[in-house]
Amino acid sequence: MNDSDKKVNQSVVKAFKLLDAFTNDKTSWGVRELALKTGYNKSTTYRLLNTLASLNIVHQNTDEKYSLGSKLFELGNRVAIYKAISKSTNIPIKNVALEIQETVLLSILKEDQVFHINKADSLHGLKINTSIGSYQPIHATASGKLLLAFSEKNTQEKILNRIPLHKVTKHTIDSIKKLKEDLELITVQEYALDIEELELGLVSIAIPIRNKEKKVIASISASGPLSRFRTENIPNYIKTLKKGVVEIEKEFTGFESL
């Protein structure tokens, strides 16, 4: 057995094999017939179906058979939305990256973390390790702090009570008091900075993206080396990022949240 085989969780594999049995021709299954179809014993099939039902991935009908649930539809729609957003924002963020000459990220708040949904690399050759579809900590990133700052107060408090303020670098904020002070400043100045808080030698600046109700639903950020960053250039960075925001917000007018 190689290393990749060892990492495979067999319960997950079995669960997906069950899900794969649901087709347009066969939309519902009883426990016994699904066990026969997959080759699993009845108790294993029942246990897996119950777990999937608790997550709304499947649901039990009145005839006690199981059908696919709403969660898969929700996840499928979410993937479609992210793909549509990625496609429609490619040109704006590439234009920003070209002008600002740093790596540009489009991000949202998801599961108490920053989730990156699009990226345009810097032409300077500095490659930021962050990839599309990856997560990063809220408290150690410009995007995260900005999105948290503009969250509703009750949402913000709940997140602050849940997240661990781990030190990612020696510059990472690890105090709730200090973080709250930073969040208040961000709402006033309408931009956030991360100066070596996520990675030594790396600086990021982020500004908000709003929907038609003016609610902040995403952020656009530029990241580059500390050696190129100058505080006196912050207004120019923001001006360039805002050019991208104008184009991106046209695509986001139909979204209340992401």
To the nearest 10 degrees (0 to 180), the angle between helices 176-189 and 153-162 is 150
What is the pLDDT, as a whole number, of residue 42?
93
- C-beta separation of 93 from 244 below 8 A: yes
What is the pLDDT, as a whole number, of residue 1?
39
Residues comprising the chain, all counted:
258
Longest dimension (CA), the chain: 70
What is the pLDDT, as a whole number, of residue 211?
86
Residues in contact with 68: Cβ distance below 8 Å, sequence separation at least 6, in sequence order: 19, 22, 27, 57, 58, 59
Residues in contact with 110: Cβ distance below 8 Å, sequence separation at least 6, in sequence order: 135
Show the 3-state SS of 114-131: EEEEEEECCCCCCCCCCC
What is the pLDDT, as a whole number, of residue 2?
46
Residues in contact with 60: Cβ distance below 8 Å, sequence separation at least 6, in sequence order: 49, 53, 66
What is the pLDDT, as a whole number, of residue 129?
77
Tokens for 166?
């781990």
What is the pLDDT, as a whole number, of residue 253?
57
What is the pLDDT, as a whole number, of residue 194?
96
Residues in contact with 22: Cβ distance below 8 Å, sequence separation at least 6, in sequence order: 28, 29, 58, 67, 68
- Residue 13, amino acid: V
Per-residue model confidence as pLDDT tens for the chain (258 residues): 344 445 667 888 899 999 989 988 888 999 999 999 999 999 999 999 999 999 889 988 888 899 988 777 667 666 666 676 777 788 999 999 999 999 999 999 988 999 998 999 887 766 777 888 889 999 999 999 999 999 999 999 999 999 999 999 999 999 999 999 999 999 999 999 999 999 999 999 999 999 888 899 999 999 999 998 888 999 999 999 999 999 888 766 555 555
